[in-house]
Amino acid sequence: MSTSTSKESGSAARFRALIDAHFAFVWRCVRRFGVPPSDADDATQEVFVVAARKLDSLESGREKAFLFATAMRVASTERRTRRRHPEDAADTLDTRSLADQPNAEELAELVEARAYLQEILDGMPVEQSAVFVLAELEETPVREIADLLELPLGTVSSRLRTAREAFAQGVKRFAAREAFSRRKR
Amino acid sequence: MTDDDQDDRAPRENDAAAENRTAQEALLIRSARLDAARAGAKEQALAAGLDALAHRQGSRQKTVLSLAVLAAAAGAALLFGTKPVAVTPEPRVTPAAPPPSVAPAVLLSPPTCPELVIARGNAPLIEDFETKDSRVLTLDGRSGGWMTYDDGTGKQSPPGRSALFPSRIPGGRDKSQHGLHVSGGKFTLWGVTLGAELADAGCYDASAYAGVELWAKGPGNLRVGMQMIDVQDVKYGGLCTKDCYNTHRAVITLGKTFERHTVRWEDLRQLFQGGPPIAFDPRRVRFIEFGVAPGDTPFDLWIDDVSFIPR
């Protein structure tokens, strides 16, 4: 009995550590894989419930890779159940994290940019968006990305290059849209 | 330059990419860095996870939808891709066939599912596809989501590894307006499977029912299966350690128009060699599944009104 209790306590401690270390990361990932802000809390929670259920078989040192893969799957299912609206992005803006506090116009610009970023990410094949999110938005070194995704370095670099090109093309469309909308104002 | 040199350069490459960004690119990247969970979300996730931990029973046998589905695909790929298939004659059930002579299902005992939902047998409808979500109807304790997966050798719509949502039936079918629609090209390894859990991460005891029925149209053959925990790989919460995913199935032949098909528990067989033979036990079911074999691709499949057969 005491062994069982001790094991459960150990599992609980490990799970708490998992949450502490990776909650924010997982939340950002599900968001960037297309889950709207209103559902990102639930999706993140689902990822960690899965982790809790699989905790015993979760290989030490592979927790982040497992969470990332699970976040991708949960987000894939979640985004198909709801239609995202650009205005949802406003919920995610925490201006306290900005070095320079935006005024109302700058904030509106960020909201619009965040929505458009999601359009670009959603338009990428998932293998590209995964690498792009990790490299460009999470600032993860390529070696760690290769480890997380269990891919050769060359594959990661190739996907990242392709994703960056897609991103650049998307931004050009964004800039054109911006120019057009500003001309209309 | 060695690989290590290249690896070490990676962060600086990111820095260089950042320096070369246009103002618009920088704006979009900056906007993503503002993503942040609301206060209290972390604590709620912690509580939910600890609750899941506390409710584990035989946690090594637990699993979740996506991993189990992918495992099923992987297991099926292994099975179909490496072994001769259809060694055992496939039982066939003709459309709207009267029930065969009733023989009691062969049962294993005792059930060893880590979590078990026992059906009362009072609500047979599994899914009528008239709701807009991808979840099975929450009747008689059931919970799960419809998904599809394939062997990766061809293309299907919706694509493999995605959730399935109802589609509008052109012209309707009697009072039914929506069904499950999956179509695709040629597959060469093990084909395409779609299905749903019946009790999410647990087992569903369907012994209160006598089988399943559905309305479907093709044309072509369709494998109707009930996946027991016994054939699922232990890595994904099952009990199988070798030659897994030899699911119990029956083959029905679909016409070009919707027809009602019935599959009773005694119709289900393990169709392929591999692993120990297991008698079908409706008390230990994880998934209901519908499969299209490579020989029946390309395919255009409609499924509607999936239901258990009351005893």
Cβ distance of B36 and A54 shorter than 8 Å: no
Determine whether the interchain pair A97/B45 forms a contact, defined as Cβ–Cβ distance below 8 Å. Answer: no
Inform me whether the C-beta atom of residue B45 falls under 8 Å from chain A C-beta atoms.
yes
Mean pLDDT of the region B224-232: 91
pLDDT given for residue B208 in this prediction: 95
Is the per-residue pLDDT at B85 higher than 70?
no
Spell out which residues of chain A touch residue B35, defining contact as CB-CB under 8 Å.
27-28, 31-32, 92, 114
Range B13-33 average pLDDT? 77
Query: Is B165 touching A (CB cutoff 8 A)?
Result: yes
**pLDDT above 90: residue B290:** yes
The answer to whether B7 contacts A164, with C-beta atoms less than 8 Å apart, is no
CATH architecture of A1-88: Orthogonal Bundle (1.10)
| Percentage of the residues of chain B whose pLDDT score is greater than 90 | 37
Contact A49 B49 (CB under 8 A): yes
Interface predicted TM-score of the whole assembly (ipTM), two decimals? 0.84
> HEC profile for chain A?
CHHHHHHHHHHHHHHHHHHHHHHHHHHHHHHHCCCCHHHHHHHHHHHHHHHHHCHHHCCCCCHHHHHHHHHHHHHHHHHHHCCCCHHHHHHHCCHHHCCCCCCHHHHHHHHHHHHHHHHHHHHCCHHHHHHHHHHHHCCCCHHHHHHHHCCCHHHHHHHHHHHHHHHHHHHHHHHHHHHHHHHHC
The predicted pLDDT at position A86 comes to 38
Pick the CATH number of A102-185 from 1.10.10.10, 3.20.20.140, 3.40.50.10210, 2.60.120.10: 1.10.10.10
Work out the average pLDDT over A168-181.
Answer: 75
The tokens describing A137, both together, are 């938005």
Q: What is the mean pLDDT of residues B143-164?
A: 86
Chain B, 58 to 117: residues with Cβ < 8 Å from chain A are 59-60, 62-64, 66-67
Residue B76 pLDDT more than 70? no
Instruction: Compare B47 and B297 and report the one with higher pLDDT.
Output: B297
- pTM score above 0.80: no
Q: Min CA distance, B106 vs chain A (Å)?
A: 31
Which pair of tokens denotes residue A122? 């959603």
The full set of domain ranges for chain A reads: 1-88, 102-185
What are the pLDDT digits (tens) for A114-173?
888 988 998 899 899 999 999 999 999 999 999 999 999 999 999 999 999 999 988 888
